[in-house]
Structure 1
Amino acid sequence: MTLWIAIGAVALLSFAFKAVGPAVLGGRELPVRTRSVIALVAPALLAGFIVTDVAGPGWSSLDLTVLAGLAAVVVLRRYPAPMPVALLGAVTVTALLRLWAA
């Protein structure tokens, strides 16, 4: 649940920054370096949330089936698979591994 609260907070902060930006800048453009940093903040935070959720608190509860599902998404996205297909592949891999382990 904490993960979803953090994701929601980051989404709200991102929306607030994007809403306040035009008012503060008054139509001026941000420098290119600033725009590139802002563009990379959300993916970096999301990657951090995913890593900490997969590894568990204190890196003590790593779930290898979820890790395999994430790997399936990476492999399917590497090839021109649409996101819904990649997500379905990840769910399938994770479910099959959990059934096999049970």
Structure 2
Amino acid sequence: MTLWIAIGAIALISFAFKATGPAALAGRELPVRARSVIALVAPALLAGFIVTDIAGPGWSALDPTLLAGLATVLVLRRYRAPMPVTLLGAVAVTALLRLCTS
């Protein structure tokens, strides 16, 4: 639940930054470098929240089967698999590994 609250908060903060930016700049354009950094703030924070949620507090609850599922997502997305196929593949790999280890 905490992760979803964090995702919502990041979305609201990102929206607020994007809404107040044009008013604060009074029609001037930001430099390209500043725009690229601002565009990457929300994804970087979201990635950090996901990593800490997966690893648990103090990295003590790390689940290798979940990491295998995430690796499956990376491989399938690298080969441009559709998102539903990617999600099903990740779930299948994680479930099979948990079944084999229990």
TM, length-normalised to structure 1? 0.91
**Aligned counterparts of 1:27 and 1:93: Cα–Cα separation in 2:** 50
Q: AA paired with 1:43?
A: P
**Aligned counterparts of 1:22 and 1:34: Cα–Cα separation in 2:** 14
* Counterpart check, 1:93 vs 2:79: no
Report the alpha carbon displacement of residue 91 of structure 1 after superposing the two structures with TM: 1.0
Report the alpha carbon displacement of residue 59 of structure 1 after superposing the two structures with TM: 0.6
Please name the residue that 2:74 is paired with. Answer: 74
Count of aligned residue pairs for this structure pair: 102
**Aligned counterparts of 1:27 and 1:85: Cα–Cα separation in 2:** 44
Report the alpha carbon displacement of residue 84 of structure 1 after superposing the two structures with TM: 2.1
Q: AA paired with 2:12?
A: L
Report the alpha carbon displacement of residue 34 of structure 1 after superposing the two structures with TM: 0.6
CA RMSD of aligned residues (A): 1.2
Q: 1:4 aligns to what SS in structure 2? A: helix
Residue pairs, 1:6-25, within 5 angstroms: 6-25=6-25
**Aligned counterparts of 2:9 and 2:88: Cα–Cα separation in 1:** 27
**Aligned counterparts of 1:82 and 1:25: Cα–Cα separation in 2:** 40
Q: AA paired with 1:73?
A: V
Stretches of 4+ aligned residues off by more than 3 angstroms: none
Report the alpha carbon displacement of residue 83 of structure 1 after superposing the two structures with TM: 2.0
**Aligned counterparts of 2:37 and 2:53: Cα–Cα separation in 1:** 24
User: Matched residues, percent identical?
Assistant: 82
Unaligned runs of 5+ in 2: none
Unaligned runs of 5+ in 1: none
TM, length-normalised to structure 2? 0.91
Please name the residue that 1:51 is paired with. Answer: 51
**Aligned counterparts of 1:88 and 1:19: Cα–Cα separation in 2:** 36
Q: AA paired with 2:8?
A: G
